[in-house]
Amino acid sequence: MQVTKNKLPKGQAELQIELSSEEVGDYFKKTIQKISQETRVDGFRPGKVSEEVIRKKLGEDGIMAQAAELMIQDTLYQALEQEDLIMVASPKISVIKQALNNPFIYKATISLLPKVKLGDYQNIKLKKKPVKVEDERVKKAVEDLRKFRRKEVLVNREVRKGDKVEVNVDIYQNKIPIEGGMAKNQPIEIGVGHFIPGFEDKLVGMKKGEEKEFGILFPEDYSNKLLAGKKTFFRVKMKSIQKMELPEINDEFAHTLGKFENLNSLKESLSQGIKKEKELEESQRTRNEILEQIAQNSECELPESLVELEKNHLLDDLKQRVSQGLQISFEEYLIQIKKSEEEIKNSFLESAQRRVKNFLVLREVGKAENIVVSEEEIKEETNKILKKYSDLEDTEKKIDLDRLKDYTESVIYNEKVFERLENFSK
């Protein structure tokens, strides 16, 4: 195998890889054996299909096409190792010459993991914020638990603030129903403010079975641009009314939530949990700050393919948040904000570049500090993840274990690098 390397701009390289006619002949035979194992032909046992039958079935060109795939699959990573290159993203392959009894030549255009010129990472100036748990935060946590333990009791009276109701709603503009503006048995908690301002107040005083029509002017900055700044009319029918019965906050309440001696022990447990959460947030903040400081003083050429990949990740993340948070399709979201998907994706350029650079810097620090992850560490952490599933055998069939191990190694590696950097910042 002969490899010719040509460096390209924007962190790319072109490899021309040539296999001799003898090597091509070996791969041709290997491909026939592979096809024989996988092909089912009447009258032949698996693996016993003759070369003559395969040649008649696929032809020389058909066999060579599969041999070419096998040659590229086997030799590309050998070429990368030979040239001491690390590839990121998928390569672009173009076959130049492909024929039996001739050399096989192809080109691979690849994006390279760039070299990073690290700035000073051992003298980071960092100001950590003290972690404090306010009494109000604990009080709110107790109140949230109290609401979680509430009882919902059907009542036959007018709606009051704090009640939970179910209503049928129709929405109109200019006496024309709005598409998708009808809801049946819609649950609403009066006074929580999850609906358009003023809507819940209009329901106060209604009784079961009562119908009511009213108009509300939507805010100019409302997320749905079809409704923003316009007066919209609602026709509401009250289906049911439930009052919320909240338990008293005392020692007995604490007992219902677990093995707590009294209310104070519950509050202490909540305080410790909140403290751990805030410590985790502060740790994440300081790690981001450490990485940003190092990245600002470091130099590297960002591969366009990695930046593009990160832009796609950010776009996918936005799509998920739109679906779960706004509960509308991404197409509807684009109509509302009057932007195309490409415009949104391009707006992520700066964030994507920053994230890619941080990733490359973190990796380079790990190399400089000789950070390694042992097979034993990967195995131990992978087993911890797998043990969380009840049916281990079934889980191992469904999960790509190689990908899980790669992910686990990455997580452990990053954690070790950050721990080293945190020691420097102290």
The fold of 2-113 is Alpha-Beta Plaits (3.30.70)
Quote the pLDDT of residue 180: 72
How far is 241 from 119, CA to CA, in rounded Å? 64
In the chain, where does the domain assigned CATH 3.30.70.1050 lie? 2-113
Quote the pLDDT of residue 397: 59
Quote the pLDDT of residue 396: 58
For the domain spanning 151-245, the CATH number is: 3.10.50.40
In the chain, where does the domain assigned CATH 3.10.50.40 lie? 151-245
Sign of CA dihedral 135, 137, 141, 143: positive
Quote the pLDDT of residue 39: 66
- Helix pair angle (263-296, 349-368), 10° resolution: 90
Enter the pTM of the model: 0.67
- Which residues, 6+ apart, have CB-to-CB distance to 363 below 8 Å? 116
Residue 139 contacts residue 183 (beta carbons within 8 Å): no
Residues of the chain with pLDDT under 50: none
Quote the pLDDT of residue 275: 95
Judging by beta carbons within 10 Å of its beta carbon (0-12, 13-18, 19+), is residue 258 exposed, middle or buried? exposed
Quote the pLDDT of residue 176: 82
